[in-house]
Each structure stands twice: as structure tokens, then as C-alpha cells.
Amino acid sequence: MGEFPLPLAGQLGHERGGNELPKKPAPGRGPVGIGDELRNSTSLMMCQFSISVGIQEPNSAEVLAILKACELCSSNARLVGSNIQVVSNSLEVVSWVNNSDNFGNLSNLKAINDIRGNLRSLKGLSIIFNSRALNVDADRLAKRVKTYWSDLGFECWGFLCLLGVLCLLKVRSGVFFLGFFWLLGVFVSAAGVVWGFFWGFSSDVWVAFCCFPLLVVVVSVVVGCLCCLSLGLFNKG
């Protein structure tokens, strides 16, 4: 569930009368809205929602958001009977909802009992925990790896086409190009290793500076050599 700040009454231009000033909320506290989206088992988005929860402790606000999600599932004909997972980034709240002996503080008791009632009546509904940071990183890495592999295929085909043309034209400098690309790949990979040694490895550095160039080099050299051998380029040196 994601939280976002709502404007305070004073920021909306409402007058309080007299000299009374709006109270300053405690650090990290204040009127907030909270919302999320509901997806089915195939990750198809069913609906989006957001609610105002006023001044709440974060976990209590999360309870209200989960309750709202459950109410949507029970009141919407499109959602009734669907396999829907309500994902929360609060491990405490998920444990409160799924553990009958725990409900946090007393202010959460009614909302949690209502959530449990919805879970009993809606067989396809479940509340699970998933870290927000974990979700963001997984999404980022998945997209970047996909991008790297797409770029890798493009570069490999480009190198192979170049080598194929050189071999078909029986240009002796094709061997020079093979050596040039091989040395370039080794240099870039070595630079990635040095970078990782001094500034720390990450999956992005490893893929971009090590695996990517080396794989291009291996594929280019192997296929290029096979083309050269098949055309007798080396024998005519």
C-alpha cells in the first residue's frame, strides 16, 4: 500500500476563527491518504482506490487500506469469486490479520475483525506481505536485464553480419577485426572488474561491464572463425 500526504486545513485556506492556529503534527505524522490497486492472479488490474485516513499511525492506516480493499472485493460483482491477493508492505499488519491472537492495539480491533470476516466469506481473497523495496528492485532488475539481453542480441547480430560480409568478400583484414573486437571486449570486461574491486560490484555492473562484452566476444569469435575456416580464409594467408 502506498501513502501520500494530504494538505492540512490551513493549507486549504480554511479559517479557524480568532487567533487559534492549527496544531503542528508530530514528525512523520499528519493527515494522509492511502491507496492501492487490486490485481487478480494473472496480474490484471481490476481497480484502483484511495481513501483519506486522517492522522494515523502507519500500521493503523495500513489496516484501514486493507479493510477498504476487502470491502471492494465483497461489494463489486466483478471481484466476487476472483482470486485476489491484497499485498501489503507491512509485515506487522499481515501478521495481525492472519493471526487470530494478535491485532496490534485496541484501536485496530474492529477493523481487523471486519477484515477477518471478509477473508472467511471470500474464499479467493488473501492478504500477503511483500517488501516495497523488494518489489521496486525486482521490477528494476527485470527491466534492465531484459534491456541488456535485447541490446546483446542486436550487437551480436551486427558483429556477425560484419564478419560474414568480410568473409564473403574474402577480405584478409577480417582476422584483424576479429582480434580488435576480442581485445576491446577483454578491455571493457577488465574495466568492469576494476570498477567492482574499488567501488563494489552490483548486478548492473556485472551484466553491463563483464557478462555483456565477454558474451559478445565469444559468440563473434566462434562464429567468425567458423566462417573464415569454411571459406578457407586462413589457408590463403
DSSP string, 10-52: GGGT---STT--PPPPPTT-SEEEEEEEEEBTT--EEEEEEEE
Q: Which pLDDT value is given to residue 7?
A: 32
Element (H, E) at 53: strand 45-55
Whether residue 114 has pLDDT greater than 80 = yes
Residue 212 and residue 152 in contact, taking contact as beta carbons nearer than 8 Å: yes
- pLDDT (average), residues 43-49: 70
Task: List Cα–Cα distances, 210 to 193, 194, 198, 204, 205, in angstroms.
Answer: 7, 11, 15, 10, 7
16 — pLDDT class (breaks 50, 70, 90): very low
Residue with cell 461489494: 75
Per-residue pLDDT, averaged over 102-131, amounts to: 83
Q: Across all residues in the chain, what is the average pLDDT?
A: 63
Q: Which of 164, 74, 171, 87 is nearest to 124 (CA)?
A: 74
Q: How far apart are CA 17 and CA 113, in angstroms?
A: 40
Between 74 and 197, where is the model more confident? Answer: 74
Return the C-alpha cell found at 104. Answer: 496490534
CA dihedral 7, 13, 16, 19 (to 10 degrees): 110
**Region 177-186 average pLDDT:** 60
Q: pLDDT at residue 169 above 70?
A: no
Residues 203-229, mean pLDDT to the nearest whole number? 60
pLDDT at res. 180: 61
Residue range 228-237: average pLDDT? 57
At a CB cut-off of 8 Å and minimum separation 6, what does 92 contact? 59, 104
Alpha carbon of residue 180 to chain centroid: 38
The answer, yes or no, to whether residue 72 has pLDDT greater than 70, is: yes
Which pLDDT band holds residue 145 (cuts at 50, 70, 90)?
Answer: very low
Q: Which residue ranges make up each domain of the chain? A: 2-130, 133-236
Residue 59 banded pLDDT, cuts 50, 70, 90: confident
CATH code given to domain 2-130: 3.30.420.10
* 126: confidence class by pLDDT, cuts 50, 70, 90: confident
Over the stretch 91-113, which tens digit does the pLDDT of each residue have?
888 888 888 777 777 788 888 99
